């Protein structure tokens, strides 16, 4: 007797048939996609609830269908006939334990980052989810990803919220699921072995690497890929060429999970450095330097590895602009020497540097140009203006570069700033900086004046939007509308995030520094 297959509840009043995925006489199994439909909210595939041979198709492409519409007729398989099914059921009762409904907690797996932010929740309480169905989306420092369900069942509680920061092991949700019975004795069909899975994973990795190498060249025609409209929509969202994706569905059909796995592997390949071709770069050369002479390998310190990763990220992701100018510090340097001589007589232990005076001038300039003291929001749609001024000072230590932060520079005088800077520099060189000492900065100063050089391109310390580089002071001839006179000039290199700061504001900030440094000098003279 033929089996009628009806359209299940699809959550909408009506939908259009966009594709018929089977033909008359074709053998289908349970969960084999039968048709693709598209409604107001989503496109989806309708799977078969039964196995059998397609006898008659009752709808056509373009038809409008709704819940309970007759889709097609199936002739049941011989092994599914009632007498055999009953026999198998009796046999199964003897061999299988009765399934139990249990509560299952789902936790965030290891995502390769210390902390990620929940950006989207794809399910609601009461939803029925399947294994590998996405339940939440998260975003970390390296990538954004969907977290799939490890079990099938009904959602009874969601334990996270959008915008929440979570880490590996945090409970995401709770579901009711069926505890499957032991079917080892009944099901003798060969399962996917670890060896087969490893072979499939290796094959996928090679496939992704090969397709990445094609980027920028000839793109194969993805119109011939065997995929439904919903899968094609997902591929378009991720920019995936379906011609490069291997389908795991029936007859090589590409399903949603194939696209998701392809994207995950592509991200892994690019982030691990397995291939640089995805960015249009040549692969990093693997050179045996010993062929040219004697070598020695030295491990990078933890600080250098962390700093290197942050600098690389900031340089690649932030559109840098660097502007150069000079600051006349002739009178300020003379005042500094005078003040230091006075402090030496008092044996106060205070020794002023030009850096401290520049810090105070920078704080005043930041208050006059608030965007330079801001951060770009994560969605890049707004800037966060900070009412405080915390300046990071790049310090070179035996283990690498660190940036301790002097807090509330705008509220402190030069004596207090000198003490703070001295204490932080000592802690940095002794490796005793705490988390509070290196966080919360709003702007950074990198001073190479003690080492030399005339200018450089400092890299912005994200999420800040600006950094000021200072080089070695030098006596230069400066025209004073009458003659050339020798002036002590301090070279400045200002790098800023061009998404937040335009060229005019960059110049304005350097001009403000020339004004505020005079104000700092006058305040020192008045003390």
Q: Which residues are catalytic?
A: 498
User: Which DSSP helix (H) or strand (E) runs through 497?
Assistant: strand 484-497
Quick check: 406 and 310 in contact, CB under 8 A?
Answer: no
394 contact partners, CB below 8 Å, separation of at least 6: 401, 402, 403, 444, 445, 446, 447
Q: Report d(CA 12, CA 301) in Å as an integer.
A: 58
- Retrieve residue 369's tokens: 């140009």
Q: Report d(CA 31, CA 189) in Å as an integer.
A: 18
- Retrieve residue 468's tokens: 């000021």
> Among 112, 264, 278, 268, which Cα is nearest to 210's?
278
Q: Report d(CA 470, CA 452) in Å as an integer.
A: 10
Q: Report d(CA 186, CA 486) in Å as an integer.
A: 96
Q: Report d(CA 468, CA 445) in Å as an integer.
A: 5
User: Which DSSP helix (H) or strand (E) runs through 510?
Assistant: helix 503-526
Quick check: 358 and 519 in contact, CB under 8 A?
Answer: no
Q: Report d(CA 515, CA 522) in Å as an integer.
A: 11
Query: Beta strands 391-393 and 443-447: pairing type?
Result: parallel
In sequence order, which ranges of 275-399 are alpha helices (DSSP H)? 302-317, 330-346, 354-368
Exposed, middle or buried: residue 258 (CB in 10 Å: 0-12, 13-18, 19+)? buried
HSE-CB of 501 using CA atoms within 13 angstroms: 32
Quick check: 228 and 19 in contact, CB under 8 A?
Answer: yes
* Max Cα–Cα distance, the chain, nearest Å: 114
Q: Report d(CA 365, CA 515) in Å as an integer.
A: 9
Q: Report d(CA 232, CA 241) in Å as an integer.
A: 9
- Retrieve residue 217's tokens: 């060249």
Distances (CA, A) of 324 to 204, 358, 479, 505: 49, 16, 19, 13
Q: Report d(CA 143, CA 145) in Å as an integer.
A: 7
Q: How many residues comprise the chain? A: 527
In sequence order, which ranges of 152-276 are alpha helices (DSSP H)? 194-213, 229-238, 256-272
Query: Beta strands 33-38 and 100-107: pairing type?
Result: unpaired
């Amino acid at each position: 007797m033929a089996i009628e297959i009806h359209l299940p509840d699809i959550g909408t009043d009506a939908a259009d048939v966009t594709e018929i995925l089977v033909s008359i006489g074709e053998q289908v199994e349970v969960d084999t996609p039968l048709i693709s439909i598209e409604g107001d909210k989503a496109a989806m595939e309708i799977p078969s609830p039964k196995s059998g041979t397609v006898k008659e198709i009752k709808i056509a492409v373009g038809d409008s269908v709704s819940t309970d519409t007759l889709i097609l007729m199936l002739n049941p398989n011989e092994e599914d006939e009632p007498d055999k099914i009953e026999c198998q059921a009796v046999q199964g009762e003897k061999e299988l334990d009765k399934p139990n409904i249990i509560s299952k907690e789902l936790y965030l797996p290891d995502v390769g980052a210390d902390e990620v932010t929940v950006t989207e929740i794809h399910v609601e309480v009461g939803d029925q989810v399947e294994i590998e169905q996405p339940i939440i989306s998260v975003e970390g420092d390296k990538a954004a990803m969907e977290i799939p369900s490890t079990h099938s069942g009904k959602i009874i509680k969601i334990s996270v919220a959008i915008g929440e920061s979570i880490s590996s092991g945090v409970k995401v949700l709770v579901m009711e699921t069926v505890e499957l019975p032991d079917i080892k004795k009944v099901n003798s069909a060969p399962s996917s072995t670890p060896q087969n899975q490893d072979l499939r994973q290796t094959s996928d990795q090679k496939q992704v690497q090969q397709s990445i190498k094609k980027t920028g060249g000839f793109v194969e025609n993805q119109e011939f890929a065997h995929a439904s409209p919903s899968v094609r929509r997902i591929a378009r969202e991720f920019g995936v060429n379906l011609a490069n994706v291997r389908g795991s569905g029936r007859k090589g059909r590409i399903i949603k999970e194939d696209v998701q796995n392809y994207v995950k592997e592509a991200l892994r390949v690019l982030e691990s450095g397995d291939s640089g071709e995805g960015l249009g770069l040549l692969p990093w050369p693997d050179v045996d330097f010993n062929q040219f002479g004697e070598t020695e390998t030295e491990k990078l310190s933890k600080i250098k590895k962390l700093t290197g990763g942050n600098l690389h990220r900031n340089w690649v992701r932030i559109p840098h602009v660097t502007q150069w100018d000079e600051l006349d510090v002739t009178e300020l340097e003379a005042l500094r020497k005078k003040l230091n001589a006075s402090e030496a007589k008092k044996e106060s232990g205070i020794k002023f540097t030009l850096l401290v005076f520049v810090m105070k001038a920078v704080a005043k300039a930041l208050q006059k140009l608030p965007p330079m003291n801001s951060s770009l929001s994560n969605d890049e749609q707004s800037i966060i203006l900070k009412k405080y001024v915390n300046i990071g000072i790049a310090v070179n230590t035996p283990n690498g570069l660190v940036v301790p932060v002097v807090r509330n520079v705008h509220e402190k005088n030069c004596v207090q700033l000198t003490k703070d800077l001295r204490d932080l520099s000592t802690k940095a060189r002794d490796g005793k900086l705490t988390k509070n000492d290196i966080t919360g900065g709003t702007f950074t100063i990198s001073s190479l004046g003690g080492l030399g050089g005339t200018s450089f391109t400092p890299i912005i310390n994200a999420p800040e939007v600006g950094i000021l580089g200072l080089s070695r002071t030098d006596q230069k001839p400066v025209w004073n509308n009458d003659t050339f006179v020798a002036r002590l000039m301090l070279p400045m290199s200002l790098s800023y995030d061009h998404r937040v700061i335009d060229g005019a504001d960059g110049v304005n900030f350097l001009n403000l520094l020339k004004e505020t440094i005079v104000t700092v000098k006058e305040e020192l003279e008045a003390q």
